[in-house]
Each structure stands twice: as C-alpha cells, then as structure tokens.
Amino acid sequence: MYDNFKFDFKIFDNFPDMCFIISGSGVILDFNSAVKETLGFYEKDILNKKLFDFIDEPYLEKSQSIVNDYTETKRKNIFVKIKRKTGLLDADLTYMPFNYNGNRNIFVLARDITEERDKELNLRRFYSIANKTVNPIQITDINGKMIYVNPAFVKASGYSEEELIGKNPSVFGSGKYSKKFWENMWNTIKSGKVWVGEIEDRKKSGEPFYTQVIMSPITDDEGEITGFFGMHHDIGEKKMLEKNLIHSQKMESIGMLAAGVAHEVGNPLASISALVQVIQRTTSDEFVKEKLELIKSLVKRISKTIRDLVDFSRPSNYELCVTDINKNILDAVEIIKAGTKMKSIEFDLKLNPDIPHLALIQDQIQQVFVNILINAVDAIADDKKDLKKISVSTDIINDNLIIIFEDTGTGISEEDIPKVFEPFFTTKEEGKGTGLGLWITYGIIKSFQGDIKVESTEGAGSKFIITLPVNNLYEY
C-alpha cells in the first residue's frame, strides 16, 4: 500500500529543504535526500525513527502537540531547533496533514533558517550597539538618502530623526568644502572602498560640529552596493586643543619678539623725546609748541605700548606671596570707580568668602582684573542701553577657583571672539586702546597655570571666565 507512495516521494529529492512523511504517531516513513545531507546521519539512523527524536528538548512538547492534535486540513508552522550530527540547527517546520488509503499521515517541510537567524541576531546586536554607542552613525541608500540614524547622531546634529530620514546628509553641511571634495568621497565609496576624512558640519542651531568620518559601502550577497554606512567620531575637543596650541605658540613667538621690538623702537623713541625737549626750550613759536605737545603725547602713547610689551616678554622678578583674590578684586573695582565713566555704572559683587588664598603675584593678578574691568567699562560706555552693570563673582568648582566678570555692554561679534586675546587686536576707536590689555591678561593667567575664556553675544554683553587651580594654595 505505501510502496506506491514511496516511489512518488522521490520527486522531493531535488528540493533544497528537508521533506518528511511521518505517521500519525510521528514515525518517519520517508524523507528526501536533503535530510541526510543536512543532518549528516545515515538512512538507517533516520528511517522508522520518530521525528521527535531529532527535535531539541525545549521545542519537543509543542511539536508533539501539533501531531497529536492532527486535523486533516489545517496546516501549522512552528520554529524548532533540530539535532544534527554536528550540533543544532534552526528550522522552520510546516506540518501539512493528509490521508492516504485511509491512513493518517503528515507531510513535514523543514527549512534550515540557521543562517537567516544568525543574520537576524547580528542585526539585532548591531541595532542595540548602534543605538547605545556615543558615536553618531548614519546609513544611507544607494542614492545617498538617509534611511537610519542612531540616537547619538540625532543628539549631535540637533535634528530629530523625522527631520533626517529621507534627506541627503548635505542638510547639515557647512558649505566649506568644494564640489570636488564631495565627488572624491562619493567616487571612493561607490567604487567599493572605504573613505576616511575630517569634516566640519553644522548643527541645526548653526554651531560647528567637527568629526572624523568613516564611510564604507554596504553590499549584498552578490557584492552589489546597496547603501552606505557612516560612523562619525567627535573631534571637537581635538580641534579646540589644536586651536589653543596654535594660539599659545603664536603668543610665545610674539613674546620672544617683544623685547627685540621694544629695543629697536625704544632707542629711536628716546632720541625723539630728547630732541622734542631741546626744541621746546629753545623756541617761543606758539604753533611749534602746540605741535611739540602733540609729538610728546604720541611719544607717551608709544612708550606705554613698549612698556606693556616688555612687561609681558620679560620674566617676572616678583615673588609669589599670599594673595586674597576677593580683596584684589575689591581694590581693582575701587581703582576703576575713580574714572569719569563710572557714574552711571552699577557694580554687583558676589564674592565667596570661603575662597582660599593662593600663591600668586599680587600686582599681576590685580593687573588682570583692572584690564578686564577697563574693557567692560569701555563696552558699557559705548552702549546705549539703560542698564549699565558689571557683575563680578568668585566661587570654587571642582577644585578650581572660578572668577567671572560679566557686563551689559556692546558685546563681541562671533568672528571677533577667537581674536580677543591676540596682541594689538581691539574693537575700540583709534587712539582709545592698544590692543595689548587682554593679551597681557591671557599671558599672566597662563603663567599661573590657569585659563581664561570669553563668552559673548553681540549687543548683549560679555562674560570673561577665569579659572585658577586651587592646588596653587599658599601654605602658611
């Protein structure tokens, strides 16, 4: 009775998936050649054995229940792990019941999905890692449109996921790179190679975002490119360190040149000053006297500039001593208040009384405070707002002394902020400043192993933040 059917079942030998005929009790009556090839067993180890003998324990009960709850027309599908000679494989089992000559039988199709499950598992692992990594990640389709961005990318760019998906990465481009630069990148990854480079993007807010980018093609099983994977590494801190290093080197170079410049200018200037005094004593011409006074004022201005240069470049001979920062600030404020521009300016001082004394050079640190206050006064004097206020505060944060000077003046433009500590840079009118005050301030603070930064919005005032290490405590 079954022999005729057995001959017909040979047609399944060309099927890539495993095929079984089992009885109503689960006994294997026949199977195709894919079963032996996949499981690695001999025919005698499979035929007339129960299908359940090849199913891993956790999936056995469900498989048995399907066979026991046999119905003639209902097909059922389950996932199981099947035992093979070399271990377990993931399989998708489809049970299809039928009657043959009055006997209850079941056709079972077992498809090996181990590779698919591994890919799915790897995809889940990648998705989990991508969602948790601090590095921004993006995936684009073959046309360069973003189809995935991780939370780190959303955070770094300032855009929402909805605003990015379907868009070209140029949405946050800085516009600082030539068309040829991007053509080179796209040509590289479209040829199947990896492209690595440093780029500057723009956040949604307009702020710069510096990253090192690794762009690589994504290929299918045939090697065809289906998309592109991009991983960004934030190098903003590196860029800031590079800028600070360049700035420090520039300061150092200028400091070395300052003494030589002072010497070259100082000697001729002394001669000019002496000649002016001789002429003043020998002439009675009022016009000549007026012009000599003008020369004297110009000589005086040049002399002050030279002194500032020499003071900055010459190693200090002052000794470190106990320095009460709060008292120095109060003294600096009193010095500034003596000026004619002070009448309409309000001073708000919030000085932490628990600030420790530091080992500093008092004259130098007071010069720092006076320089910053003078700039604040000049910025407020040029401003037309009713509120004219300078706030000064001191505090201890993370083992650092923080001193903040904040004014309600005209502020500093975004393009000028990186240049405020450069020598001879000033936004004041000609004759109102040498541009050396903040440069000298920067050098003094750095000599104390501290740091000074400026935050400002044009038209809304400025904030100078000084950081001094508390490990510079004065022992007494």
The verdict on 356 and 409 lying in the same domain is: yes
Strands 358-360 and 321-323: antiparallel
Give the Cβ contact number of residue 8 at 10 Å: 9
Residue 255: what residue type? G
The verdict on 300 and 353 lying in the same domain is: no
- Please, are residues 263 and 270 in contact by the beta-carbon 8 Å criterion? no
Q: Which of 175, 202, 234 is the last residue of a domain?
A: 234
The verdict on 212 and 157 lying in the same domain is: yes
- Threshold 0.75, pTM exceeds: no
Of residues 418, 415, 344, 420, the one with CA closest to residue 375: 420
Q: Measured at the alpha carbon of residue 53, what is the angle toward residues 49 and 59, in degrees to the nearest 5?
A: 145
The CATH number assigned to the domain holding 157 equals 3.30.450.20
Spatial distance between the Cα atoms of 184 and 190, rounded to a whole number of angstroms: 10
Question: Tokens standing for 248?
Answer: 């420090």
**How far, in Å, are 104, 213, 322, 396, 440 from residue 360 at the CA level?**
98, 45, 7, 17, 16
As for how many domains the chain has, the answer is 4
The verdict on 450 and 332 lying in the same domain is: yes
What is residue 308's three-state secondary structure? helix
* Alpha helices (H) along 201-357: 236-282, 286-313, 325-337
Give the Cβ contact number of residue 341 at 10 Å: 14
**300-348 confidence digits (pLDDT tens):** 777 776 666 665 555 554 567 888 999 989 988 887 876 655 567 889 9
Spatial distance between the Cα atoms of 136 and 150, rounded to a whole number of angstroms: 6
Q: Would you write out the chain's pLDDT as a tens digit for each of its 476 residues? A: 444 444 567 788 888 899 999 988 889 999 999 999 999 999 999 999 999 999 999 998 888 888 877 655 578 889 999 999 888 999 999 998 887 777 788 899 999 988 888 888 877 888 788 788 888 989 999 988 999 999 999 988 889 999 999 998 888 887 777 788 888 889 999 999 999 988 888 888 888 888 889 999 988 878 889 999 999 888 877 777 666 665 655 555 555 566 666 667 777 887 888 888 888 888 888 888 888 888 887 887 777 766 666 655 555 545 678 889 999 899 888 878 766 555 678 899 999 999 988 888 877 888 889 889 988 888 887 666 677 889 999 999 988 999 999 998 888 888 888 888 877 677 666 545 556 778 888 888 887 888 999 998 888 889 999 999 886 444 43
Q: Which of 193, 219, 234 is the last residue of a domain?
A: 234
* Alpha helices (H) along 133-204: 151-157, 161-164, 179-190
Q: What is the pLDDT of residue 2?
A: 46
Residues 6+ apart with CB under 8 A from 38: 18, 84, 89, 112
Spatial distance between the Cα atoms of 371 and 377, rounded to a whole number of angstroms: 10
The verdict on 284 and 380 lying in the same domain is: no
What is residue 242's three-state secondary structure? helix
Spatial distance between the Cα atoms of 180 and 96, rounded to a whole number of angstroms: 61
The verdict on 95 and 181 lying in the same domain is: no
The verdict on 205 and 258 lying in the same domain is: no
The verdict on 98 and 139 lying in the same domain is: no
Q: What is the pLDDT of residue 441?
A: 86
User: Got the DSSP string for 208-230?
Assistant: EEEEEEEEEEEE-TTS-EEEEEE
Distance of CA 376 to the CA centre of its chain: 32
Spatial distance between the Cα atoms of 57 and 75, rounded to a whole number of angstroms: 23
Of residues 41, 40, 45, 38, the one with CA closest to residue 19: 38
Question: Tokens standing for 130?
Answer: 């991508």
The verdict on 181 and 149 lying in the same domain is: yes
Spatial distance between the Cα atoms of 276 and 369, rounded to a whole number of angstroms: 36
Q: Which of 70, 91, 112 is the last residue of a domain?
A: 112
The CATH number assigned to the domain holding 256 equals 1.10.287
Provide the greatest CA pair distance for the chain: 145
Residues 6+ apart with CB under 8 A from 153: 136, 137, 138, 164, 232
Dihedral sign for Cα 404, 405, 411, 415, please: negative
Q: What is the pLDDT of residue 319?
A: 66
The verdict on 346 and 462 lying in the same domain is: yes
Give the domain extent around 360: 321-472
Give the Cβ contact number of residue 108 at 10 Å: 22
The verdict on 295 and 227 lying in the same domain is: no
The verdict on 329 and 303 lying in the same domain is: no
Residue 115: what residue type? E
